[in-house]
Amino acid sequence: MELLHSGKVRDVYADGDDLLLVASDRISIYDVALPTPIPDKGRLLTALSLWWFEQLADLVPNHVISATDVPAEFAGRAIRCRRLEMVPVECVARGYLTGGGFTEYQRTGAVSGVELPRGLVEASILPEPIFTPSTKAPKGEHDEPITYAQVVDKLGAETAERLRQITLDVYRRGAEIAADRGILVADTKIELGWAPDGSLVLADELLTSDSSRFWPAESYQPGRAQFSYDKQYVRDWATGSGWDRQPPAPEVPAEVVEATRARYVDVYEKLTGNRWA
């Protein structure tokens, strides 16, 4: 095998005509990998992605070849995948107003060029889900929001519309499945790539605690920050630590690591119905 790329949280290997996507226990916030791992994170996110790929297989094809035909040292945290030409845009869908979207809305009344009603507050549910793409920045740089018109300029109208439709379809299906299990999907980011036949294929991870914001439906209340089953807990700790969001990042305290792992386990069990061993 040949190591092709070592990212903030994933490593990609070439194995013949296939790729091996290996999820580490590293955690990244504000596009910076933290020095402290979250135990079991790679296995949890791999298992959750595989579950979601299966749930959405009838909606859009995915890159999965096998989760078992992988080297023993990567068992449980690796997926054998098809090679794709990755789309150079981050595809994001939002059903609720929070995070960077809420900050932009407060400043402009819109998110990624999508005008929204006046008077929305933190965690407001949107009239309908919206497509809010961003750049796919090189390592060490930050993704930046872009408008749909910029995606059209970059990739053409037909591809832009297909990206938007797939992203919103994935969000709606995922949000519906999650809601049946007491989980709100505030937003999610997906990765898409072109197969040799020109079709768009889901890749990377899908509806995980790293790529989505998950909230418990039972405690949801607009106008305030929500309890999150994702890495928002680490973001909040980092914000309070005084870190300037530039590398090197500080070590994460043990109690924050433990609480974050518990959130990852909890949402995995709630969504899949499987107990995490």
Residues 74, 78, 83, 85: is their CA dihedral positive or negative? negative
* 217 contact partners, CB below 8 Å, separation of at least 6: 179, 182, 183, 184
What pairing do the DSSP bridges indicate for beta strands 212-216 and 78-81? Answer: unpaired
**Which tens digit of pLDDT belongs to each residue from 185-211?**
999 999 999 999 999 999 999 999 999
pLDDT tens-digit readout, 26-72: 999 888 899 999 999 999 999 999 999 999 999 999 999 999 999 99
**What residues does each domain of the chain span?**
85-219
**CATH code, 85-219:** 3.30.470.20
> For the ranges 61-70, 228-237, 260-269, which has the lowest average pLDDT?
228-237
pLDDT at 142: 67
Distance CA 101, CA 112 (A): 8
Query: Could you give phi then psi for residue 49, rounded to 5 degrees?
Result: -60, -45
Q: What is the pLDDT of residues 141-177, one digit of tens each?
A: 667 899 999 999 999 999 999 999 999 999 999 999 9
pLDDT at 253 over 60: yes
What's the pTM?
0.94
pLDDT at res. 277: 84
3-state secondary structure of 9: coil
